[in-house]
Structure 1
């Protein structure tokens, strides 16, 4: 049996929506992007959202919006994908890595210890779709406002550390009965090919700025312009009769999402909230039921009184094994036709960040989680037979190592 790790969910609705975009003659940013943005707002409950070409670009855009650059520090978890740190690097700021909890997510106490007068933002990451401790993080940002010295108008309006969530994995996750996206100042979701909702490549920036200090509509307009080279009109608007004239008012980026890709997400998003998310949850609980009785298994969190996972990844950990044993288990499972993965290599293990002076010895919990983690396939196309084959294959490979 051959079981891929994370194929995209493409049905007739997606094909029809993409075909409609192609037949319309308009394939770059236009009405389908705008409709996708509106749908994100409707489902998540945020005032505004802006589609961009990747979640990485969305993080960079948000950091630039807050005027973060050289001399500033941004606190991030050591356990995340490289894009979280690279967004900070690309705006010229300094990433400050802190350790994580046993649930993979950033430690609030570690954040508190890392805050300095240079701290301008915190980027919590909802690993595997499990929400971070947002109330505590927001409270900490407010509590430490006495250390915050604003350098521009947006920073003066907020007058504290920005909480910018990297929620690449977490669309559909809930924190205290609200969807992630409404739980931080700005939230970025990923629509990459392997995510719960995809546009092949893409992401969306959700604005949830305090209404007493900001007009989210105005900030959306600014970000939309900035994402199109600082141009006052997009190509669709310019194409209208007499609409050719435009201005460049910001030193912007070129990170807009095209309609032909937005069409995929436009078809998927209603299906996701209607039944795909439920199917992912069913598979997740199947894994939970199987592995919770195994003494060697550390099962990932799914829900508690405050949090509900989006079930993006099933991050199984094998108790008491070494990194080398984990790798051997993966090789055995792969040879049996089951594609598995590891999420993630902590940043200090990667050459770029080693060269910047980061050492994994400073992040013991990140390494402890990583060395025994195996991500299992979880997507709606999986059949019952495939699920039973996956868990039996995993158990057999693990027991051979113990």
Structure 2
């Protein structure tokens, strides 16, 4: 790889050193097979941008793979082994957010226009290109890059905030359901890692939000079902419908359509639909396993009961999950008083007021809202201490 970089990135306001984020937003890669042109770019633009150069398209692709994201990639059209259109198309796959600009001779205008129309480039410039014209094009590309990333950050923040609100509402209105989603979340994360899933974030969200439809139910109803109690016909119908309620709550949130589908299909057996996603198959396994434990079964007994059911569960996922459970070391617990509770701690017992109001279930990770709720209810109704909390280095004082 032949790449050269000015190691003192600066912004264009008085040539003052740029912040870390500004440096990322002002990184530009020039790719050309003529070294004198690359030298010219470095000399002319290095005080204005964080300039990196690469000699030829193959070196350019290596540079993109080996370096932090470039805000703008500027490429010549006519290069050996790979032309600029093909190169920038490859850049689009490797670094989709990078804004792509192409330099071309007048005779190549037709090819350049086709590249723009195909979406391969943001803008094309004809040679010879005036320095100010090139600067304006790069600045426009960097502004586009900044706006795209700002919009993504806003979306991520909005999505994260929406999910936090939903889960906190569930924790406050139905701690039994919230505790159940918390218990399976860790298992889902481990499965996603085990299978090297590219959609791991969706799987985590599906586990976290799998019980969101239970906001329409009481904790007592779900507790009665998990404990093996007798349900009325109306209660059975309400419980059976909670995945659809969850789906309807989630389907309109941007980027959560796949998660909503997993939630809707969480109780679907393979015999009912062999086309359901990995996430829905995993949810079925994790929720049924949790239900068996809550009814009093031991982990080995629960797994042995599930493993022969090939028409219900995905055997590959279930076998991997069984290996994880059987290979995991048991966690010890410690006794803490109410004043020592902190968000992030995991309960080893159900936490209830003295009159029997459930505040948190065993295996639940405490949030700010749940800690506040426990303390408020303890003041109002009383609570027996100390409390049993799973021992973890993360919860050390």
TM-score (norm 1): 0.22
> Computing the radius of gyration over CA atoms, which structure comes out larger, 1 or 2?
2
TM-score (norm 2): 0.22
Select the structure that is richer in helix: 2
Between 1 and 2, higher relative CO (CA 8 Å, sep ≥ 6) is seen in 1
